[in-house]
Amino acid sequence: MLWQKHHSLFFVLCQMWGRIFLSSKVLNRFFFTWGQRYLFTMQLKTKEFESLFTDGLNSLADVFKKHQFELRIAGGAVRDLLSGKRPEDVDFATTATPEEMKHMFSAAGIRMINNKGEKHGTITARLHTENFEVTTLRVDVLTDGRHAEVEFTTDWQKDAERRDLTINSMFLGLDGTLYDYFKGYEDLQNRKVRFVGNAALRIQEDYLRILRYFRFYGRIASEPGQHDTDTLEAIRENARGLAGISGERIWVELKKMLVGNHAAHLLELIYELDLAQYIGLPAGGSVEEMKRVCQRVQGSSPKPMTVLSALFRNLDDVERLDLRLKISREEKNLGFFLVKHRRDLIKSRDEHEVLKPYTDFITDCREPDAQSKVLELLKYQGEATLRVQLSHWSIPRFPVSGHDLRRLGITSGKEIGMTLQDLRDAWKKSSYQLNKEELLSTIHRP
């Protein structure tokens, strides 16, 4: 108890000293180690941070201040703010328990919604048309690699310790003070992705963290291949744990990785570390083809399936992926389309009609999403110029109908169908220029 008292006094005095003597855009930086404890602080004042202070957040802060509970921004929002980005979602952490939050929100007449997260410490409050998710500091007392039983705490470092990556383990006070217990700020500055503490232990708490590591590597790291050897070994040794993770959760992380930086490197690494078999990717996937496609799609904002389909050798690979990951029907159909047509639906050798095979396919297909699929195919094939042209092309309307043929005395359904197909072929050959009268005039009847 005496050590704790002196430690707290020392911490307060050092913070006061830092605020008094250090000033700049980053007003203060301070860190110390005391036994196993480490803390780095600095003051953040940016327009992105200040823009968060809406009427709703100010009201929320007043409630916690009135009841003398700490409230800080947590996790990914802190990382984004330190990177100069305004976060899309902001999560909050507090020393108040869920029961204490419910009591003070009720006393203030604040509406609470969605109580599904309460057992994990999360209360969602609605203030001034905004929803705020606030979670009690917690530690994992029992995990099975998928789910965790938690225990509430008031120790900020213990909560940070249970998080996955150092860059996601920081907190930001509403006064702009950064609290960093695991050198996350330093890693962010150096564009380095590390697990908090022991990589194997963090992974075993939730095996999905393997894919989160890859996803954030693609988001943060400046170059491929700059991994700690121990981290990769921990991933390899725990690869089998991914077999117990739901396909839906895997697909969420995998999709984000596929459209991030270094996708080719990370997919190759997934095969090298023997992860593919546990996440639905084909055994012996076409890694070299995938590398080529990743080069082609740069700067074109491809859909995740456009990149992933390069690994597939046949349609059965798409089926197996769907069985494991439960992808959407749209994603599955796109995978089928790309695998089926990536070799045979190609540009014309006629330099005046290079786009025609694609436009003919779209008009013949007569499906509402045919053009979007062909655009993804052009990304896959690296046809940037054709993709721009097709994006500005509107599907023309075939000007002849069966009713027009009946007016000419053609009544047989079979004959109507054959005639319409002949007219459609002539219309396509004219690059969709022939009008109704011109097409009908080509009909010769005995």
pLDDT in tens, 424-438: 889 888 888 899 888
Each residue of 200-219: pLDDT tens digit? 999 999 999 999 999 999 99
pLDDT bucket at 107, cuts 50 / 70 / 90: very high
Provide the CB-side half-sphere exposure for 145 (13 A, CA).
13
Each residue of 121-149: pLDDT tens digit? 999 999 999 999 999 999 877 665 566 67
- 37 vs 80, more confident: 80
Q: At what angle do helices 247-258 and 263-272 cross, to 10 degrees?
A: 140
Q: What share of the chain is helix, strand, coil (3-state, %, to 5)?
A: 50, 15, 35
Q: At what angle do helices 315-325 and 329-341 cross, to 10 degrees?
A: 160
Percent of the chain with pLDDT over 70: 90
Q: Is the pLDDT of residue 314 over 50?
A: yes
The residues, ordered by sequence, that sit 6+ positions from 75 with a Cβ below 8 Å of its Cβ are: 91, 163, 168, 169, 170
Question: 3-state class of 109 per DSSP?
Answer: coil
Q: At what angle do helices 247-258 and 209-220 cross, to 10 degrees?
A: 10
Task: State the average pLDDT for the chain.
Answer: 89
Question: 3-state class of 138 per DSSP?
Answer: strand
Percent of the chain with pLDDT over 90: 74
The candidate with the shortest Cα–Cα distance to 405, out of 434, 445, 365, is 445
Each residue of 413-427: pLDDT tens digit? 888 989 998 898 898
- 115 vs 122, more confident: 122
The residues, ordered by sequence, that sit 6+ positions from 67 with a Cβ below 8 Å of its Cβ are: 96, 100, 104
What pLDDT score was predicted for residue 8?
47
- What does each C-alpha distance from 238 to 100, 266, 271, 273, 404 come to in angstroms? 39, 17, 14, 10, 67
From the candidate CATH numbers 3.90.1310.10, 3.40.50.410, 3.40.1180.10, 3.30.460.10, the one assigned to the domain spanning 44-190: 3.30.460.10
What pLDDT score was predicted for residue 143?
63
In the chain, which segments carry CATH 3.30.460.10? 44-190
Query: How far apart are alpha carbons 140 and 336 in whole angstroms?
Result: 42
